[in-house]
Amino acid sequence: VRIALGLKGLDYEHVTYDLRTDAHKVASYLAIAPHGLVPALETDEGIIIESAAILEWLEERFSAPPLLPDDAMGKAVVRSMAGIVACDIHPLNNLRVLKALRADLKAGQEAIEGWIDHWMKEGFGGLEALVARYGRGFAYGASPTLADCYLVPQVYAARRFGVDLEAFPAIRAAADRAGELGAVKAAHPDLQPDADRA
């Protein structure tokens, strides 16, 4: 969502919630986002939760620059790429799932790392084929789309977890190309107001 806001040149106030201290589970945040997950976007029209809904709203309200292709098939492909990350990879490796694996299923650190590695690679396998087919520098085509808004953070997470991305050259190239953009650089976790300072 930060990447899309930046690509569209939109100014926003950034309110952070530290997931490590369960700040997203307090009543004041649940009043904003009843599902207890970040992000949420507070707009003049109301509050929007769920990244896909936020991104589609931004696209509808602030059409320039467009983050979806013109044609219906192009839009479908970009949404397929986004869906692989949003539905097939990210939720399985989310904090609450990893916590449940540890607490309820008694998984140790090695098992958790194996789980993350498995589901990232499983999802990246399909995504790699799409990016290799449709990418022309970016994940889809020659300019950034919603697909890059999903791809960049997922590749960041993969690298943070030490997942070997050798088998996914198209994904790596697209994420690295997008990473050169000012809007993407500014959205990097290390540059956020709540980032741990070394």
Q: Determine what percent of the chain falls in helix, strand and coil, rounding each to the nearest 5.
A: 60, 5, 35
145: contact with ligand GSH by CB under 6 A? no
Of the candidates 158, 155, 162, the one whose C-alpha atom is nearest the C-alpha of residue 179 is 155
Q: Which of 94, 136, 186, 189 binds ligand GSH (CB under 6 A)?
A: 94
Cβ atoms of 141 and 69 closer than 8 Å: yes
Q: What angle do CA 178, 157, 190 make, to 5 degrees?
A: 75
Question: Under the criterion CB under 6 A, does residue 96 sit at the interface with ligand GSH?
Answer: yes
Q: How far is the CB of 36 from ligand GSH (least distance, A)?
A: 7
Q: How many residues bind ligand GSH (CB under 6 A)?
A: 11
- Residues in region 51-70 near ligand GSH by CB under 6 A: 51-52
Closest C-alpha to 180, from 131, 141, 144, 134: 144
Comparing CB distances to ligand GSH, the nearer of 38 and 181 is 38
181 φψ region: left (φ > 0), alpha (ψ -120 to 50), beta (else): beta
- Please state the closest distance from residue 1 (CB atom) to ligand GSH, in A: 8
What is the footprint of ligand GSH within residues 17-46 (CB under 6 A)?
Answer: 19, 24, 37-38
Binding site for ligand GSH (CB under 6 A): 19, 24, 37-38, 50-52, 86, 94-96
